[in-house]
Amino acid sequence: MARAATSLVNKFIGHLNYLEKTRSKMEYLFSRNHIVRRDIEQVYAGLYMEAITSLETFIENLFLGFLVGQLIHKSNEVVHRVSFKSYLIARKVVYGGNQYVDWFPYYRTEKRAAAFFRNGYPFTYLDNMDKQQIEKILYIRNAIAHKSNYSLNKFEKEIIGSSILMPRERTPSGYLRSVFRTAPNQTRYEELIIEMSIISRKLC
C-alpha cells in the first residue's frame, strides 16, 4: 500500500537523531576525560560519513519508491514517465546494468530524474543554495574518505578559506567539531546535519 513520502524523510531524520545521541554521549565522555581528543574527532568523522551515506540511501529509496508507486508526493507535479511493478526491476533499469549508481554529486541525481520524472520533479526542487550546501557537505566527506592531496586542498580552499580557526579545527574532523554558533552552542557538524534534514524535507 502506498504511503506518503514524508514517512521516508521522518525515518531518515530519526536516524540522524540517533546519531546525535551518540555524538552527545561521546562529548560527555570527553568532558569527563574518559576519551581523548583524537577519539572524539574520530567519532565526528565516523558519524558524519554515516549521515551522508544515509542521505544518499534516502535519495535512492525516494527515487525508486516513486517509480514503483509505493511513495506518494504531496504535490501533483510529481509524475513519473514510466512505472515499475517491483523494486527489483526498477533498480535494474535505474542502475543501467551497473552494481550501483552514484547520487552525488547532485547533478547526477538531477540528470537521472529528468529521464524518469516529468521536469525531474521533485529532485529538481532544490535551489542553488541547497546544491551549494550539498557541495560543501561533499567536500568535507571527500577529505575524510580519501585523504588525498586533491581532496584536502579542495577542503582547505572551499571549506576553510579565510576562516579564522585554531590549527586543530582546520582538519576535516576538527572542523566538524568546531563551534558554528553560541547561545546555544552548536558545532558545524550539527549545522550540516540540520542542512541535510532541510534538503530531505524539500524533496518530499
Count up the domains in the chain and report the number. 1
Taking the C-alpha atoms of residue 150 and residue 139, their distance in angstroms, rounded to an integer, is 10
pLDDT at 164: 87
Q: How confident is the model at residue 2 (pLDDT cuts 50, 70, 90)?
A: confident
C-alpha distances (whole Å) from 6 to each of 18, 51, 67, 92 are 18, 18, 16, 25
Range of the domain at 140: 3-203
Contacts of 75 (CB under 8 A, 6+ apart): 121, 122
Model pLDDT for residues 148-195, shown as the tens digit of each residue: 999 999 999 999 998 888 999 999 999 999 998 887 889 999 999 999
CB atoms within 10 A of CB 175: 23
Hunting for cell 508526493 — which residue is that?
73
